[in-house]
Amino acid sequence: MDYTSQTQFTISNGRTADSFVQCNTYHELSNGAAADYGFDHFIYLLNGSESPTPEQLETLWKKYHEIITKMGKETFANYLHQNINNLPSILGEGFEWVLGTNSSCIY
């Protein structure tokens, strides 16, 4: 059996920040991007924290896109990738609750 047609894929540089800035809603995020940038409920569970509400997730998404609008997609993707270890500092006041896969309290 020829599996060639079933295994076509696009090679990317593997940076979730690049795919993140291309999405229009947080529901479109890959599992990796959702986990990296505060949208994965399992990350909060692992940390022993409450999962964010749908309203918090929507506010988080709007905040990210506010910053993307100011910085531009490419610049923000680079900035986000380089500063993934401290999402709350990127997002500012009111987003101290945001946890991603690189949040120090998960390890």
Q: What is the pLDDT of residue 101?
A: 87
The pLDDT of residue 65 is above 90: yes
CA 59/CA 100 separation, integer angstroms: 16
Any idea what DSSP says for residue 91? H
CA distances in angstroms from 91 to 1, 49, 99, listed in the order given = 50, 19, 12
Q: Can you tell me the mean pLDDT for 54-83?
A: 95
Cα within 13 Å of Cα(93), Cβ side: 0
Rg (CA), the chain: 15
- Residue bearing the bigger pLDDT, 55 or 104: 55
Q: What is the pLDDT of residue 12?
A: 47
pTM of the model as a whole: 0.81
- Mean pLDDT in the chain? 85
